């Protein structure tokens, strides 16, 4: 096995005549946290379900741990835990019984101390019936069920959806701890700041096609600068109307610019007007993502998608 824990080649799923995913070539390396981004219906959940052999591919192949997802599904799933995005749990069981049941069905008993610790960290009361749980508590239960097994691979579909911000932070810490222990996490999220905070690499899927896979640092390291310039007095409206420079907004004596070229010229003009302060602003993953999904389908380099 190479260092790739998840590997898909030309993975395609059609639901009858409807597209699920198309020609997805994806690799996730052992020990990394991989963020999978895309809006609803883009194909994130479909990809995860194929990896777990819940859905069979129309074409292409998928392997985990070097094993074929379909042929060696049971062996693979012994080493994987999954948190589905659309939670449906056995409502007639208490939280404790639910976890016991999953333990038995996995054929491997989780360490009781660790399980208790996870429940405490997430603030989950396992004495109540699952049917009485809020959506947030159901998500917590599902997360405990996944993490308690200490699997080699965690597949998490929107793991922080429906959780309050404090618990979201706890979940992100749990993911980071899993990575430190050498485990691999493949997760999707709509909260781009959290993907940026914990992912080593991200893949962006659009209309069933994987449009990019890059390190988060590379993805946000754009070939342009984003600057906030402050002046003693309001600069003239046309001051920065030069090639390669876009004025994003202005607020009193401050302007925010996106500078793709002519940075030296911008500095010269700013100095002439009487600059008092300058701040460079990092590009967020959210901005990169929105560039991929811009209304006009314009990619981050300004080219039509």
Partner 1 sequence: MDRVLSLLWKELRERRGAILWWGLGLAVFGYVVLYLYPSLADQMAAMDMPEVYQMFGDFSNLGKLKNYLAVEAFDVMLVLTLGFYAALTGSGALAGEEETGTLETLLALPLARWHVVIAKVAALGLTLAALLVIMAAGLSLGLNHVASQRPVEYDALDMLWASLNVWPILMFYGTLGLFLGAYLPSRGLASSVTAALLVVSYLVNNLGRLVDVVRPYRPYSPLYHYSSTAVLDGRVVWSDELLILGFTLLWVVLALLSFQRRDVTVHIWPWQRLSARRRAAQRE
Contact between 301 and partner 1 (CB under 8 A)? no
Which range binds partner 1 by CB under 8 A, 1-9, 14-22, 187-195, 284-292? 14-22
Contact between 190 and partner 1 (CB under 8 A)? no
Q: Pick from 6, 8, 33, 53: which binds partner 1 (CB under 8 A)? A: 53
Contact between 104 and partner 1 (CB under 8 A)? yes
Euclidean distance between CA atoms 23 and 8, whole angstroms: 9
Contact between 109 and partner 1 (CB under 8 A)? no
Q: Pick from 11, 37, 77, 119: which binds partner 1 (CB under 8 A)? A: 77
Place of tokens 């709509």: 190
- The alpha helices in the chain, defined as continuous H runs, are 44-51, 73-77, 95-106, 112-122, 135-148, 165-180, 192-198, 216-220, 263-273, 285-292
Which range binds partner 1 by CB under 8 A, 29-37, 73-81, 191-199, 230-238? 73-81
Binding mask 146-175 for partner 1 (x = CB under 8 A): ---------x--------------------
Identify which of residues 17 and 127 has a Cβ nearer to partner 1 in the complex: 17
Nearest to 173 by CA among 217, 118, 125: 118
Contact between 276 and partner 1 (CB under 8 A)? no
Instruction: Give the other-Cβ count within 10 Å of 258's Cβ.
Output: 17
- Positive or negative torsion for Cα 73, 15, 205, 174: negative
| Closest distance of CB 4 from partner 1, Å | 21
Instruction: Tell me which DSSP letter residue 274 carries.
Output: T
Query: Which residues face 12 on adjacent strands?
Result: 59
CB 243 within 8 A of CB 195: no
| Closest distance of CB 109 from partner 1, Å | 12
Q: Provide CB contacts within 8 A for 219, sequence distance 6+.
A: 202, 212, 285, 288
Contact between 12 and partner 1 (CB under 8 A)? yes
- Provide the binding-site residues for partner 1, judged by CB under 8 A: 12, 14-17, 49, 52-56, 58-59, 73-75, 77-78, 80-82, 84, 86-90, 92-93, 101-102, 104-107, 142, 155
């Amino acid at each position: 096995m190479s260092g790739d824990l998840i590997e898909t080649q030309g993975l395609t799923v059609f639901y009858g005549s409807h597209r699920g995913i198309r020609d997805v070539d994806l690799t996730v390396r052992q020990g990394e946290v991989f963020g999978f981004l895309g809006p609803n219906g883009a194909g994130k959940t479909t990809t995860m379900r194929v990896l777990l052999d819940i859905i069979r591919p129309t074409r292409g192949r998928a392997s985990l741990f070097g094993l074929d997802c379909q042929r060696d599904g049971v062996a693979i799933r012994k080493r994987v835990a999954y948190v589905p995005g659309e939670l449906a749990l056995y409502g007639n069981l208490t939280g404790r019984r639910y976890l016991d049941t999953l333990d038995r069905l996995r054929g491997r008993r989780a360490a009781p101390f660790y399980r208790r610790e996870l429940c405490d960290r997430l603030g989950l009361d396992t004495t109540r019936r699952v049917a009485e749980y809020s959506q947030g508590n159901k998500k917590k239960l599902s997360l405990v069920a996944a993490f308690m097994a200490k699997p080699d691979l965690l597949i998490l579909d929107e793991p922080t959806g429906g959780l309050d911000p404090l618990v979201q932070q706890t979940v992100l810490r749990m993911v980071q701890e899993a990575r430190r222990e050498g485990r691999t996490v493949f997760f999707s999220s709509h909260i781009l700041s959290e993907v940026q905070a914990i992912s080593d690499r991200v893949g962006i899927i659009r209309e069933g096609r994987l449009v990019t896979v890059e390190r988060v640092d590379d993805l946000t390291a754009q070939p342009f600068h984003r600057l906030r310039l402050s002046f003693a007095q309001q600069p003239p409206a046309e001051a920065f109307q030069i090639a390669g420079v876009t004025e994003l907004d202005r607020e009193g004596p401050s302007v925010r610019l996106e500078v793709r070229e002519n940075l030296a010229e911008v500095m010269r003009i700013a100095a002439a007007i009487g600059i008092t302060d300058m701040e460079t602003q990092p590009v967020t993953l959210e901005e990169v993502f929105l560039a991929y999904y811009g209304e006009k389908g314009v990619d981050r380099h300004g080219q039509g998608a």
